[in-house]
Amino acid sequence: MPRRALVAITALVLALHWLVLSGVPLAWDSPAQPTGQVFSTRSIAAAPPPALPATALAPVAQAAPPAPPLPAARKKPPARTTPSPNTSTAPAATPAAPQPPADATTTATEVGTDTAAAPPTETLAPPAEVAAAAPEAPASAATRPAPPAESTTGVDITPPGAGTGQTPQQAPPPARLPPPTRLAFDVSGQAKKFAYSARAELLWQHDGSRYEARQEISAFLVGTRAQRSVGAITAQGLMPDKFSDKSRSEQAAHFDYAQGRVTFSANTPQAPASPGVQDRLSVFIQLGALLAADPGRFVPGTQIALTTVSARSADRWTFTIEGPETLDLPLGATPTLKLQRLPRKDYDQKAELWVAPSLGYLPVRIKLTQANGDFADLQLRNSGAP
């Protein structure tokens, strides 16, 4: 009995729940309530967006008006021209042009940005600056050959007893070149404390307009060293075009008289060049040519200064006439005139030269001594035509 009652009660409850559930409309099923609820909720979310463009468009309309004020600002300059003291910056620039140049220069240096006062000073300043800068760029090449050419690369002859303040004779002296000759030398020397003996040959030849001088020294265990000088012949003697020095490798100096410079294959700094400059080989023949042209001028004590170029650099060499001396050479007793170049600074080379008047003042003995004591002494063994 109770089970039946329970079942009946259960069935009744289920029926009532079904009637309730089936009779109540849901929110998304009824068109009346959902529209009101949907539009109420969506209208709140959707209403602000239309309101925002309205507010966003409003500022744009407000931002557009500022464009017209620009013409108003353009109209202000005429008003500023009348009250010049109030506008100190703009009017000060315009009157500065007619004011005295003293103010213009001061304003140009102090301000440097005024368009009215700066142009006159800026147009004048650059030429001065360029003129000052132009020498600086070519200073390395131009100032070397440009300054006193005679005192730096010419031949200076100073008579004996001349005071320190006396100007040496700088007029280009005449030269008298010897005929083509081949000279053979016996060589004794020392290299790195090692004594050696060798043979050397000096070949001198020319055709009256061009010359070539070649000297070669060869020795056992020491090797061979060759120097060569080629160039032109002028009334003042030799004018080298190229000097080369070769032992294991070759280095050379090139003379460019049009540009007034000597360049080196070793990429060392350039040196000045003008007529009178010599190289390490031509200098010995040039000195003899000067002596041969006017022997009476070169009395003992006379100094001859001339720029001498090696394969890497240039230096001012000064030779002093020592006087006559008779040498006992492998060739035999030979009257000579001795010249000597003493070192002026550390690591300078000492050079002693003996020239023979009987051979057109060609060198018959050359002795070169290095600062470390190494030396090479060349003494004439025989001579003849090339």
Question: Which residues contact residue 230 at a Cβ distance below 8 angstroms, ignoring those fewer than 6 apart?
Answer: 210, 211, 212, 213, 240, 241, 242
Residue 256 bridge partners (DSSP): 261
End-to-end CA distance of the chain: 161
Give the chain's mean pLDDT. 73
| pLDDT (tens digit per residue) in 272-305 | 998 899 999 999 999 999 999 999 999 999 999 9
User: Which candidate, 162, 173, 176, 177, places its Cα nearest to that of 302?
Assistant: 162
Residue 383 bridge partners (DSSP): 183
What span, in angstroms and rounded, lies between the C-alpha atoms of 343 and 369? Answer: 10
**Tokens read off for 356:** 């023979």
Q: Buried b / exposed e across 146-184, counting CB within 10 Å, b at 16+?
A: eeebeebbbbbbbeeeeeeeeebebeebebebbeebebb
| pLDDT (tens digit per residue) in 170-213 | 566 899 999 999 999 999 999 888 898 999 999 999 999 999 99
Chain-centroid distance, C-alpha 278: 26
Q: Which amino acid is at 78?
A: P
Q: Model pTM greater than 0.85?
A: no
Q: Which amino acid is at 247?
A: S
Q: Is residue 35's pLDDT more than 70?
A: no
Q: Buried b / exposed e across 36-60, counting CB within 10 Å, b at 16+?
A: eeeeeeeeeeeeeeeeeeeeeeeee
What span, in angstroms and rounded, lies between the C-alpha atoms of 149 and 250? Answer: 29
**How many residues make up the chain in this entry?**
386
